[in-house]
Amino acid sequence: MGTLTVTGQVRTPSGLVLRASGSTTVSAPFLAGVDTSQTGNTATDVANLAAHAALFPACTGPTKVFSPTGHGLPSWTTGLLGAVPAGWIPMVCFKDMPTQQQWVAWLSAMPTRWREVWATYDQEMEGDQPPAQFVARFQQLLSWAAGHPNRGRIKLGPNYTWYPEVHKGYDWHDFWPGPGCDFIGWDLYPAGKSLWLAADQLQALPLAAAAEVKLPLVYPEFGVVTDIPQTAPQQLARSQWITSQAGYARAHGVHAMSWWCGTGNQGNFHLDNDPYGLPAWRAQMGA
């Protein structure tokens, strides 16, 4: 967000030329995206992405491309990353720490088809490795990327976990890489299958963290289970919860959030067959 000041000249009906200026507040658009179930960059993953591209034609937000342990950095031109529509923003999440040569080569091969790409190392890192090691590795990636010709289009930042059963055991500060990051991200899910926290409760921690580091806040994964129960009143209540969460995020300056349209440990998060939830999330993409 910032202030745009325009200065110019105005000609009156009598022919007198006067200088004029004006200011307006300009803020970044709220980006709503959609993620897909991923099993390891397979043909099924690509098919899921194509299905969601058809379900959400107005999407201009981020979508996660997850590269699990042992898979390295994903190819820009094949597999799931290569299938991300040009109007979307790929958010590449990779678990393996690359070498400097691998990292620089990957950045150099970045296509121009996307307006920008977001990337994070070891998303949901809590419990994966000692905090000091994570921070050192992330700082190394930032250092290797500094000055690269594509650095302006690749946005780098950590992606934390907000599962109530997880985040209470960790302090996000311990995993903060420090200067050089472009955003701070949180995967955002309420507790269990039935406890839907209000927006001010669910988003309090990420908003406080973003305010502290003074960086754009993104929710790369956001959602609540859609399979239990499937009664119309519950589906309607869920759609209202979706709308309230997105509205609160937008009002508080969150830059982007993506619905996790997949299957997780807690159940099914798909909106495909949800008669209330699907239009509720579609509406966020046109807001």
Average pLDDT, the chain: 88
Q: What is the rounded distance in angstroms from the CA atom of residue 228 to the CA atom of residue 225?
A: 7
How far are the Cα atoms of 4, 176, 222 from residue 36, in angstroms, in the given order?
37, 27, 12
User: Which residues are CB-contacts of 122 (< 8 A; sequence separation ≥ 6)?
Assistant: 94, 95, 97, 128, 129, 134, 137
In angstroms, the CA 200 to CA 207 distance is: 9
Per-residue confidence band for 24, with pLDDT thresholds at 50, 70 and 90: very low
For residue range 105-156, list pLDDT tens digits in order. 999 999 999 999 999 999 999 999 999 999 999 999 999 999 999 999 999 9
Do the Cβ atoms of 130 and 115 come closer than 8 Å? Answer: no
* pLDDT reported for residue 19: 62
Which residue carries 């890192």 as its tokens?
A: 125
The pLDDT assigned to 78 comes to 92
Structure tokens at 148: 């690269």
Q: What single-letter DSSP state applies at residue 173?
A: G
Looking at the domain that runs over 29-285, which CATH code has it been given? 3.20.20.80
Q: Examine the pLDDT at 27 and tell me if it is beyond 80.
A: no
Q: What's the pLDDT at 23?
A: 46
